[in-house]
């Protein structure tokens, strides 16, 4: 059943209004964006990019259990990943925004477990990301222009 979720940049602009952290559990997304690998092209010419079968649901559940045990008060928000505005429709890949601040207890624990989001990722099945408010605002506005151009009057 379809559900309405924010994109990470939309969540930042409309709700958080400041730099925001999130975890991505999709190995292909992380390989491309965190580890700078080229996307795989299949025999039929398709790519594995933005396909939910490459989401590591075990790593996601481990994260949720970790948060429930250690930081049950921390707000977690399911979000669509940060992608080019040429993608208007794509599946939810399991990513979760975390209501924490730089250098707070939650941030430090997640940085220890998943790597500092201001540095390179550690493992491709769970990467801790940061997005600045400025980048989120720019990207969100760009996406809104594309949507208006595509679906507006």
pLDDT tens, position by position, 3-25: 789 989 999 999 999 999 999 99
Residue 88 has pLDDT above 90, yes or no: no
The closest alpha carbon to 2, from 95, 73, 90, 70, belongs to: 90
10 Å CB burial of residue 8 (0-12, 13-18, 19+) is buried
Report CA-CA distances (Å) from 105 to 57, 83, 94, 133, 146.
25, 29, 24, 21, 38
The residue with tokens 């602009």 is 13
Q: What is the pLDDT of residue 85?
A: 72
Residue 2 has pLDDT above 80, yes or no: no
Phi, psi of 115, rounded to the nearest 5 degrees? 100, 150
Q: What is the pLDDT of residue 46?
A: 72
Structurally, the chain folds into a number of domains equal to 1
Q: Which residues pair with 39 in a beta bridge?
A: none
Give the mean pLDDT of the chain.
90
pLDDT tens, position by position, 46-85: 777 888 999 999 999 999 999 999 999 999 999 989 887 7
The set of residues, in sequence order, having a beta carbon less than 8 Å from that of 37 and lying 6+ positions away, is: 31
Rounded CA separation 94/13 (Å): 20
User: Domain range spanning residue 136?
Assistant: 6-151
1 part of a folded domain? no
110 part of a folded domain? yes
């Amino acid at each position: 059943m379809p559900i309405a979720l924010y994109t990470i940049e939309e969540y930042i602009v409309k709700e958080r209004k400041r730099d925001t952290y999130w975890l991505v559990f999709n190995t292909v997304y992380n390989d491309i964006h965190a580890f700078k690998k080229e996307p795989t092209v299949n025999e039929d010419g398709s790519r594995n990019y933005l396909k939910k079968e490459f989401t590591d649901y075990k790593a996601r559940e481990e994260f949720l259990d970790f948060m429930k045990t250690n930081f049950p008060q921390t707000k977690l928000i399911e979000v669509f990943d940060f992608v080019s505005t040429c993608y208007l429709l794509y599946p939810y890949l399991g990513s979760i925004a975390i209501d924490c601040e730089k250098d707070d207890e939650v941030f430090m624990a997640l940085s220890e477990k998943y790597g500092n989001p201001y540095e390179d990722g550690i493992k491709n099945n769970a990467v801790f990301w940061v997005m600045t408010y400025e980048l989120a605002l720019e990207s969100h506005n760009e996406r809104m222009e594309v949507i208006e151009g595509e679906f507006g009057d």
